[in-house]
Structure 1
């Protein structure tokens, strides 16, 4: 299976933070099909292990989160309309008129409706709707919906992946399913190379609600190096260029206190050596990624972040350029292949 086919499956699968079962099954199947065993831990992280040749057992952990932001049922009114709250950083401005899937006893399809403009006052039209005033309409009445849906059921946006021009695709949950696809692509690339270090490809859970999966998996693995693969703000006309990274111009390597300078510099060297374009992203404090808990796991881990340019973050039309996936996967594979015991000692020193 190509990484693009895998990414489409990932995007269209459901997996709200804490309820990642459906997308987890997609990931497990794909990694097993290319000949690698996948295990899970108590929190639900998926870990694919690839043994290196170095008898000293140096370890690198690559982390990309599988969970997505979403909704949760909090009440059902007397007419069968569903009231809901959010899980993770959902932008409520984007919820109006969305098609949704309520994951009850079976999948129930609905829409988030809105009052017709003809019946709204000028004051109502000038203000954004609060989430407490939004409802999901499934067409069922109170008795029918209560047979299928309970308070606490999760809700996801119903969205297919769309092909845009110039190698772009758009869909939901590309934050950070694109990172998981890069793990898959880099593993395929690494299968063509020799490497000394042991590699742990980890699809983490519950990143959107506090980077919880990376916290537990890093503690279990205790890597020498940890790299988070996540998304950054893709450039659009209204955004400041200093807060964004360019689409199609390769991954961005993050620099800042969450990042080990040796890892940052070695990523840049690897990209230059293999003629892979890259960008630099500044994170002056918290990187907002799985690298944050990895860095302070156990006695500390040398961390790095690879960011993929993504437009329209935390919406149902997140957009990436597929060439950035390929460039990121190749950088990761060659970075791993370049590590040996001698340069690891030098790289990990401050």
Structure 2
């Protein structure tokens, strides 16, 4: 039963990275895509952007219900970066809504665009910072230190910052690939291809920098990575996928390109899961929070599994139908 919950939680994070990442990344890419990029991003995001957050909500509900100590620890120790993430999501969503649906087009639209783009950078950066703090091991449940030690030190460091930049770069890469198939003009498609290549290269550089930053902060992440054959295999396959991705950048199947990038990003997530498992939060005192020492009572897990299965039966077909209605015909082969 616990294994079912862990699998659904992992799938939720993967889907949010792919779908929510494309949304956040669209704002990042828009900043480099010129005036035409704003129209393409609005057209691509408007029908589906709110639905993508369902996977984040699902992950939060699972943590809150199945692993309450983990939820409590993260929400208290990391309340500052999480609050910035929340503010970024709200500001970004409201800015996009006003910009896209406002019937009056005046000078305020440039401010909506500014807020949309800035929050599109800030939110994924602080999502990555939060994840980095869960990995680094400076969180403590013992409220014996100062405010700075308890609530700033766990996330305000080089490793977490690099993790934040890595997340933003990865989201930009996902979005650039997605927007290739949304662009209406060949020159715009080529611009997104160039941006996708830049973000892919930057993601690799920042991915390597994550391991360097971990060593700087005295967290031996590379040792944990090397000790996991699944992580080595996953990241190795990610690298081997690179020539395939570059080939697909210049050949007609948008569907295959998106599918290949989805596999690539999923492998990155699986590699991270393999390094972490079964730990959810590394603590400063070495008594880490895992799936097994923080799980809720059996009765709670049983009821949660029923609710998740019923919910997925309802949500997945609706989600598929939403994309079919609003994105039908977008994945037809096109020559770039």
TM-score, with length taken from structure 2: 0.33
Structure in which a larger fraction of residues adopt strand: 1
TM-score, with length taken from structure 1: 0.32
Question: For the pair shown, which has the larger CA radius of gyration, 1 or 2?
Answer: 1
Structure in which a larger fraction of residues adopt helix: 2
